[in-house]
Structure 1
Amino acid sequence: MSDDGPLILVIDDEPPIRRLLRTSLVVQGFRIIEAESAAGALQRLGERPDLLILDLGLPDMDGIELIRRIRKIAKAPIVVLSSRGDERGKVDALDLGADDYVTKPFGMAELVARIRTALRHRVQAEGGEPLFRSGTLGVDLVRRRVTVNDAEVKLSPKEYDILRLLVIHAGKVLTHRMIMQEVWGAAGDVQYLRIYIRQLRRKLEANPERPRHILTETGVGYRLQVLE
């Protein structure tokens, strides 16, 4: 086990899942601590984990309620393990402060990528980096300037507000409700948001029908992918 890798708290009541995660993630350089219940998870927060992996189906408390309690005392990224088709649970978890989700059954490569993205996003958010670049896309948050292939792109105020929100949370899934609340000040018609996302893709993507920057998380929301 690495002595200085990120510390991950795995919260799952199934021993085989915890064993799989422990074995696979230690090889990737992470340090692992475990909890099989919500009560155990709250106790282990005192060890200041860098990230939490949380299964929503715990024996002593609903996982959504646990996220609510965790967010009152800790800011560590939370990656949720959810059942396939549990869109309501995903949305609720993200709206309460979870950073990402992985659907069971999951591939370990995908989970590791989501973990690294969540850790990187937290560093970016705390650092407040004003210049963002992802592939051909550039965003200067101070000058409110957006470029594609170094050519300036003109956005409407609402288009820019949506893109700015995605940039600040680059790599993280933002729910429809979260975006509407932040940009318009209230939850509203999701179709209205989809129109603006479509307009943004036309201006920012090489192929709007196969976007590489603004990705759709079906039934949940959108994610700004960070490209090399």
Structure 2
Amino acid sequence: MQTSQAPLSDRVLVVDDDPTVAEIVTGYLDSAGYTVDRAADGNTALERAEAHWPDMVVLDLMLPGMDGLEVCRLLRGRGPVPVVMLTARGEEDDRILGLEVGADDYVTKPFSPRELVLRVESVLRRSSARNNTGPLLKAAGIVLDPVGRRATKNGQELSLTLREFDLLAYLLRNPGQAFSREYLMREVWGWEFGDLSTVTVHVRRLRGKVEDDPAHPRLITTVWGVGYRCDTAAGE
């Protein structure tokens, strides 16, 4: 499968303590047109990010000292940046932990380097403001700007990850419609197949940020046996 050439401005930070994996990933990303920085541990990754803020981070979960989860938390605390998490174990708990701390995607080792490049391209493409157009979206005190990729609730800025933003935007654009997790994975993530718990985790995280009472959601509701629906009349 051919991959498109990335814009020269796209900088990817690869964080993996396995030199072979790091070299292979770096080689494929470099061939795809990305500028690549490398780090073998969490502290070095944070230093590299501080020196040259990346457009994307490919982050191994299992790192010496500071693990990938902590690195992801610290990076997300410094500013918005898409993160693709690598995990060797591939267990559901590990994947969910990565998503819970703000990773936008994950790839389980062993993986195809070409698949990883396609995942990176997909996440970067969706994070680019130039690919998001349309009027402001408003519901239940929420104002979402697709072009500026900014969202507020009752005037307060919402700290949303890339996928959370895209998921909220998609639901707000299609009020009153019930969508299955499979459908949302295809339309929001761009995946034809994958772990459906990814959608579940993101809905839970999103509810925690946009609902007045996440335990009793009124904006993003569950349609039993189907999936989720956005009820834009909530809070009116």
After TM superposition, is the score higher than 0.5? Answer: yes
| 1:37 counterpart = 2:37 | no
Indicate how the Cα distance of structure 1 residues 193 and 36 shifts in structure 2: closer, same or farther if over 3 A, else same: farther
Structure 1 residues 12 and 129 mapped into 2: Cα distance closer, same or farther (>3 Å)? farther
Q: Which residue of 2 aligns with 1:23?
A: 27
Q: Deviations over 1:7-46 (max 9, x none)?
A: 1100011111111112121111111110111000000112
Pairs within 5 Å for 1:8-19: 8-19=12-23
Letter aligned with residue 32 of structure 1: V
Count of equivalent residues:
177
Which of the residues 108, 128, 131 maps onto 1:123? 128
Q: Structure 1 residues 126 and 45 mapped into 2: Cα distance closer, same or farther (>3 Å)? A: farther
1:67-216 equivalence runs, <5 A = 67-124=72-129, 127=132, 129=134, 141=172, 144=174, 155=177, 159=178, 169-171=188-190, 174-183=198-207, 185-186=214-215, 195-197=225-227
For 1:28 and 1:124, how far apart are their aligned partners in 2? 21
163 and 25 in structure 1: CA distance in 2 versus 1, 3 angstrom threshold: closer
Percent of aligned pairs sharing the same letter: 30
Structure 1 residue 85 displacement after superposition: 3.0
| C-alpha distance in 2 between matches for 1:195 and 1:171 | 23
Distance 1:182 1:166, change over 3 A: farther
Counterpart CA distance in 2 for 1:50 and 1:8 is 6
Q: 2:58 aligns with which of 34, 53, 57?
A: 53
After TM superposition, give the deviation of residue 60 of structure 1 in Å. Answer: 1.3
Partner residue, 1:150: none
Question: Secondary structure at the residue paired with 2:128?
Answer: helix
In 1, Cα distance between equivalents of 2:134 and 2:181: 18
Structure 1 SS opposite 2:226: helix
Distance 1:66 1:140 in 2: 30
1:102, distance to aligned residue in structure 2 (A):
0.6
* 1:180/1:193 contact within 8 Å kept: no
Q: Which amino acid aligns with 1:117?
A: S
Cα deviation, residue 58, structure 1: 0.5
| CA distance 1:90–1:49, shift in 2 (3 Å) | same
CA RMSD of aligned residues (A): 3.9
What SS is found at the alignment partner of 1:195?
coil
Equivalent residues of 2:12, 2:58 under 8 A apart:
yes
Report if aligned partners of 1:13, 1:35 keep a CA contact under 8 Å in 2. yes
Instruction: List gaps (5 residues or longer) in structure 1.
Output: 133-138, 146-153, 201-228
Q: Cα distance, 1:95 vs. partner?
A: 1.6
Maintained 8 Å contact 2:24/2:113: no
